[in-house]
Chain A
Amino acid sequence: MYAARNIDLCTKDCLCLFVCPTGATDTENGQIDKNACLDGCRLCVDACPSHAIYLVYTKYPEPKEKNPEVSEKLTALMEKTYNQELMVKTLGESSKNPGEQRLARALEKSLRIVAEDCAREAGYMLPQSIQVQDLLKLLLTNADEEQKLLLEKLLSHYS
């Protein structure tokens, strides 16, 4: 676990500098140097008057198992939503009316967010989870060279 700063909340009172034993909080780019940060130390988190510092976990628990039937239906809903996204994309690209093009772009983005939320609740929430690792391995079986390289990179990072 190491500390990270939410720069939107940081009020530059700089109390984190007073308590950090390694100087990890004192950087020019507004971020905390995670290589210098002490695992789980959290002194800066507690000292910050604006609650702008939090701990980023490096290990995550395996998510609560989902009901297979509900998960399957939610996946189907995600697929339908992705299909609709592809439909509005086509429409936007073929349309000559600026208003319709903008509407299509808005719908495309909105539909993607809805589909992502379905994916999350269907069990694809954490990159570290077994379900995601299984998916990456499954994709590997049918991947071209470029895809294979990237999938292997992810699998080795999260294994």
Chain B
Amino acid sequence: MTTSLGGMKVLEVKKEGLIDLLTALKSEGYAVLVDLTATDYITETKVHYLLRNPTTNERVRVVVVVMRGEKLPTVTDLWPGADWYERELYDMFGVGFLGHPDLKRILMPDNWEGHPMRRDYPLMEEPVQFKHGVEPKCPSEIIPHVK
């Protein structure tokens, strides 16, 4: 399934076919993995792999949807540099990776509980105090969320 977005092709794939698709793309010439990131939608997490072809400079994005608590296969055999990117995804979103050499926290302290970038993890803001009896406010709520 492909959709074009700002000129970049987006391929959606299921978890089982992920490694085959990435291996096929890599042998076709998309040899550089530019970015590995994720977006959290509370019950599920969308993981994105952004690939680039160094000879034609075309980019393609591969999207995989994984439910909370499920694990993805690792791509460190194809790209050794994906090691830290997967550790960051584990730390921030709680996405596990099967076959990763050393999956532990990278940005938060080792004994931190919780995965900060998930949407239901609170920001833990301190309300700002005001004088003259005005109620304390959190900075992110001063301009409310408007759809």
Judge: A and B partners, yes or no: no
Chain B interface (Cβ < 8 Å from any Cβ of A): none
